[in-house]
Structure 1
Amino acid sequence: MKPLNSTETLTLVKACITEIAPDADFTDVRPDDKFRDALALDSLDFLSLVELLSARTGVRIDEDDYPELTTLADTVAFLVTRTG
């Protein structure tokens, strides 16, 4: 996997969330909002998101990494760092 930039990664994260939660509306979700709460993702949705992000980016995401996937900004930073 080639290194990702922040813009590409944000697009990827939103696309993955939309696959899991097709009704997800990012209109009022700011980069530092806790997206699980803002988009009403339950724990199974979150685990599906982790698996999808890992598959799409080639980044291994362990349970210890979950706290770094709280906001869109944190998730993007985590993935950019790991692909870079």
Structure 2
Amino acid sequence: MTPDAIRSLAIDILSGIAPEADFAALGDDDALREVLDLDSMDFLNFIAALHQATGVDIPEADYRKLFTLAGVRNYLSAGRE
């Protein structure tokens, strides 16, 4: 997946979790949980949906790497395709 495709996938998933969010204002380095007001279950649903869409196993120890769109893009494009 290209970095743009990963970003688009993440936003598509997040729009299903937080449909009222303003994704146009979401920057690549913004903390997803804070900006989108995601609780821990929402974030886990996001991680699970990323796994389901990409087939990439995401261990709990790596969750912190996925707190931003840039982090998601970097994590999924770092040889995990």
TM-score, scaled relative to structure 2:
0.93
Tell me the number of residue pairs that the alignment of Structure 1 and Structure 2 aligns: 80
For residues 21 and 56 of structure 2, what CA distance do their matches in structure 1 show? 24
The letter for the 1-side match of 2:70 is A
Unaligned 5+ segments in structure 1 are none
Map 1:4-83 → 2, pairs under 5 A: 4-81=1-78, 82-83=80-81
Identity %: 39
User: Structure 1 length as normaliser, TM-score?
Assistant: 0.90
Cα deviation 1:10-65 (Å, max 9, x = unaligned): 00000000111111211222111111100101100000000000000000011001
- The DSSP-based 3-state class of the residue aligned with 2:21 is coil
Aligned mates of 1:23, 1:64 — CA distance in 2: 29
- Name the aligned partner's letter for residue 23 of structure 1: E
SS of residue in 1 equivalent to 2:23 = coil
Q: Which runs of 4+ in 1 moved over 4 A?
A: none
